[in-house]
């Protein structure tokens, strides 16, 4: 008997060896130690999860907090995390002995064909009532580690769900910030256009007066009217953009989008423009970005499943035990009602090896796909973060140029006003200088808004904006 068992296990080990080991895990090349863009405004340090507080708006902080507490995407991510954690616990429990208790009562009659032909065939057995109660216990010995690998794969899935939840949290916060910045930018641009339209109205009135006095032409008036119409055409789009931003904020904070268009109209959108960006080493990025960590956990799960799939090539050994009582209800307490069974069992699906090998090939291919996805995610994360830092520096330089142009326009309009008060220039020239100043102000407003957008995008790309679930629970 011992020799037969040894031969069986030796054959199983030989077949398992023929299947080979799972493909080796790839080792990606480490990213560069520094970002491609260098500027004193880029400071090295630890990222803050609540990076949006640098905008200095209590309304924005409140909106982000509401979104983190009520957003339905986050609620779905929380539920997925709970499900994955429960599956991980279930996989761990599969390694433990399994069993249960049972009890039942049956009214039965045996058919005459099953009765033994002793002397003459007896009459049919009478109806009987049989009661039973018992317990069973079984334990499959995980001597090849298949169940352990499956449990580790389920744990990696749970970790991937955790990082997915963190990714959703960071994305929701960023979407709130972007919608709020869009609202503020379009409000500012609308106010500037209103001032410009008022200045153009004054300029057109002056031009018409000059025509009546013989000091101007109708073409001059038509040119100014064209400029005013072009500026006025931008106003409805800005109003629509404000309403759309409010609708996005409503959805992110789980409110009624229709009602929030009017409810959020009075919300303050004044904001500061951060002057520096705190970044960390590009190599730290791979530990901060939720998408990178999620891809890594998915890779771990795929490799563990590839290893677990090979366990089916081996025979499985189980230990089982059962005990109970079975008799008529009145005889359950008699010694003859007791039954028990105990012993090992060996099972080997030797005729299913073709299906098993196909499953192994599929699991190996899945691990290769997960490895490729992981490496692509690493490269995309570094590319996105490096581009986001560079994009913020570029937007910052554009904003500085717009501020310089605004300062020059401010000097020009001040000079035009001074000349007008001294009688050295006409009111028409003064109104024209004021219109040019308002155009420069609109360009400055748009440039600063783009700078703030780029700053927000950089923080998201660097992996900021998520917190641990324990901290989230305590803060709610």
Average pLDDT over residues 281-297: 87
pLDDT-based confidence at residue 18 (cuts at 50, 70, 90): very low
Least confident of 108-122, 378-392, 458-472: 108-122
**For residues 349 and 314, is the Cβ–Cβ distance under 8 A?**
no
* Residue 268 phi, psi dihedral angles, 5° rounding: -75, 140
Least confident of 108-117, 177-186, 291-300, 382-391: 108-117
Q: Name which residue leads in pLDDT, 300 or 470.
A: 300
pLDDT tens by residue, 54-107: 999 999 999 999 999 999 999 999 999 999 999 999 999 988 889 999 999 998
Q: What is the reported pLDDT for 251?
A: 96
* Residue 19 phi, psi dihedral angles, 5° rounding: -75, -20
What percent of the chain is predicted at pLDDT more than 90? 49
Least confident of 240-254, 318-332, 445-459: 318-332
pLDDT tens by residue, 400-414: 999 999 999 889 888
Query: What's this model's pTM, rounded to 2 decimal places?
Result: 0.83
Q: How far is CA 47 from CA 50, 165, 329, in A?
A: 9, 19, 72
Taken in order of first residue, the domains within the chain and their CATH numbers are 33-96+144-304+357-475 (1.20.1600.10)
Length of the chain: 476
Residue written as tokens 């609708």?
247
**For residues 221 and 204, is the Cβ–Cβ distance under 8 A?**
yes
Q: What is the reported pLDDT for 115?
A: 63
pLDDT exceeds 60 at position 10? no
Strand order in the sheet with 316-327: 98-108, 128-141, 316-327, 338-347
pLDDT exceeds 80 at position 225? yes
pLDDT-based confidence at residue 162 (cuts at 50, 70, 90): very high
Which of 369, 376, 385 lies closest to 288 in space, CA to CA?
385
pLDDT exceeds 80 at position 114? no
What percent of the chain is predicted at pLDDT more than 70? 88
Provide the 8-state DSSP code for 106.
Answer: E
> In which region does residue 326 sit, left (phi positive, over 0), alpha (psi from -120 to 50) or beta (all else)?
beta
Burial level of 246, CB count in 10 A (0-12/13-18/19+)? buried
């Amino acid at each position: 008997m011992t020799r037969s068992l040894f031969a069986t296990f030796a054959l199983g080990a030989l077949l398992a060896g023929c299947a080979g080991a799972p493909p080796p895990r790839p080792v990606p090349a480490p990213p560069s130690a520094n970002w491609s863009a260098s500027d004193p405004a880029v400071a090295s340090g630890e990222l803050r999860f609540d990076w949006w507080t640098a905008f200095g708006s209590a309304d924005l902080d409140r909106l982000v907090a509401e979104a983190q507490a009520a957003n339905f995407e986050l609620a779905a991510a929380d539920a997925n995390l709970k499900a994955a954690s429960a599956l991980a616990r279930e996989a761990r429990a599969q390694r433990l002995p399994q069993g249960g208790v049972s009890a039942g009562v049956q009214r039965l009659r045996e058919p005459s064909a099953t009765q033994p032909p002793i002397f003459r065939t007896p009459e049919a057995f009478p109806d009987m009532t049989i009661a039973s109660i018992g317990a069973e216990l079984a334990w499959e010995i995980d001597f090849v580690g298949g169940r352990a690998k499956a449990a580790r794969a389920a744990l990696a899935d749970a970790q991937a769900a955790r990082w997915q939840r963190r990714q959703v949290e960071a994305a929701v916060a960023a979407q709130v910030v972007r919608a709020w910045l869009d609202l503020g930018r379009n409000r500012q641009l609308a106010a500037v256009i209103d001032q410009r339209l008022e200045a153009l109205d004054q300029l057109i009135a002056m031009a018409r007066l000059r025509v009546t006095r013989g000091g101007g032409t109708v073409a001059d008036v038509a040119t100014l009217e064209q400029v005013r119409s072009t500026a006025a055409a931008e106003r409805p789009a800005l109003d629509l953009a404000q309403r759309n931003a409010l609708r996005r904020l409503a959805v992110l904070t789980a409110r009624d989008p229709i009602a929030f268009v009017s409810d959020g109209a009075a919300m303050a959108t004044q904001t500061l423009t951060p002057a520096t960006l705190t970044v960390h080493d590009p190599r730290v990025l791979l530990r901060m970005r939720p998408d990178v960590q999620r891809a890594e956990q998915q890779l771990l799960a795929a490799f563990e499943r590839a290893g677990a799939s090979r366990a089916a090539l081996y025979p499985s050994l189980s230990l089982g035990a059962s005990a109970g009582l079975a008799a008529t209800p009145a005889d359950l307490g008699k010694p003859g009602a007791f039954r028990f069974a105990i012993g090992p069992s060996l099972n080997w699906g030797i005729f299913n090896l073709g299906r098993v090998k196909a499953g192994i090939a599929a699991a190996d291919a899945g691990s290769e796909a997960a490895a490729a996805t992981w490496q692509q995610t690493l490269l995309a994360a570094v590319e996105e973060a490096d581009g986001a830092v560079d994009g913020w520096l570029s937007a910052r330089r554009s904003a500085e140029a717009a501020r310089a142009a605004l300062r020059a326009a401010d000097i020009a309009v001040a000079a035009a006003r001074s000349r007008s008060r001294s009688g050295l220039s006409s009111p028409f020239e003064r109104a024209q200088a004021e219109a040019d100043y308002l155009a420069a102000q609109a360009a400055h407003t748009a440039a600063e808004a783009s700078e703030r957008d780029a700053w927000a995008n950089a923080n998201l790309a660097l992996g900021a904006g998520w917190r641990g679930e324990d901290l989230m629970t305590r803060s709610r």
